[in-house]
Structure 1
Amino acid sequence: MTPHNQAKKGEIAKTVLMPGDPLRAKFIAETYLENPKCFNTVRNMLGYTGTFEGREISVMGSGMGMPSIGIYSYELYHFYDVEAIIRIGSAGGIADHVKLRDVVIGMGACTDSNYAAQYRLPGTFAPTADFGLLEKAVSLARAQGVPFHVGNLISSDLFYGDYADSLTDWKKMGVLAVEMEAAALYMNAARCGKKALAMATVSDLPLTGEATTPEERQTTFTQMMEIALRLA
């Protein structure tokens, strides 16, 4: 056990789906998994293991922001022998061609965070997804007819930032959407030689003001969930 996870060794599958919201983890477990068993309730960061189409899969919340997913993904990789983590979250679309409920698959994750400073690298690290997971996710999205985009995310430490034009500046660099976790997940995976992929359903368009409701974000982003379940 860890300070944040009460699971015992063997109770968590080799692949973990990680939505930010623990209630989304509960929804996925109860909707899609056969015989789901809850392995964690610490801080209400719910985690479940069950089977989907005969394969063992776990799903666990990550919380909001890079410090939070940094803790949970680190523990899963290092202490529970997890091999792959697939983030299934929400994001704000900023590219003109990205629409509400589209799925964005993060090939890379730019960031305004100082998370990489811990590695004391002699330069700037570029956090990227595992190509095998990314390639398979693209194939599954095409097969399911899901509207999707592949490219850069911006993982921001700020939800309420003081610089109003920051998203416009990232948009100029071809970034597709903004979220708050992918870069830390990709860095943790890289550092310990594991796999990671971040997918996000577009929940809002911050540059235009369009948005889905909290209830929709919790229970209706099913296309992304189904891609991730078949990817695991």
Structure 2
Amino acid sequence: MNKPQFFILALCLFLLGSCQSYQHFVKEEGQYYPLNSQEHQQADSSIANIYSPYKKQLEAQMNEQIGQLSVDLIKEQPESNMGNFAADMVAIQAQAYTGKSIDFAVLNYGGLRLPSIPKGPLKKGKIYELMPFDNMIVVIEMKGSELRPLFEHICMKGGWPISSAVRMEIDDEFAPQNIRLEGQAIQADKKYRIATIDYLANGGDNCTFFKGKKRYETGKFLRDAAIEYISAQTAKGNSIKARKEGRISQKK
């Protein structure tokens, strides 16, 4: 279904949802004229006839099973298996789309819109619920000396989804400690590539540290990348699983 068809469907659903069986009145020059209930029902029927083919097509697409979850995905802070799954997926897909090595990926906590997804069959519609926004995956290039504000921001937000290359602790003042990338300290002069979404890369959620940096576009929506990744894993006979592993921890 293309975007114009989708918007027609959304409009029709809105109009149909707003229709009730009671009479409506139209005011003109101080007089009120009741609308005939039969006319109203005919209007409802006409709208239903318009959107019905699109509704069936959309339902078929959203009910398509694309994979199997072997564990419940739970959204938590400072780290969650849902966030780990999403960030790892972005790192893998961004590398495939750009052909460039990705040092790590990061997403904002609020960008994942479901508190949990139960294990079992995973349908395409559930990914649309999890990632409903039209966010594109992008890759930002930054020097190691420029990364500190990013990690400070993640800590101040209570922890964000981040890929498996990262290990860090949040201290009592919500500052980052013991940051490691692939087990190594950050090198100030080294260039790192960070996969994220264009909303953050454009400065959204107060991520001003991304603005003005070298950037690679993938042209892929986050949810489409997730669907492609899950479908590819399924084709290989793999179920989808993720776990917490101490990527971001609270310093004791």
Q: Which has the larger radius of gyration?
A: 2
Q: Which has the higher helix share?
A: 2
Would you tell me which structure has more strand in proportion to its own residues?
1
TM-score (norm 1): 0.25
Q: When the two structures are superposed, what TM-score results if normalisation uses the length of structure 2?
A: 0.23
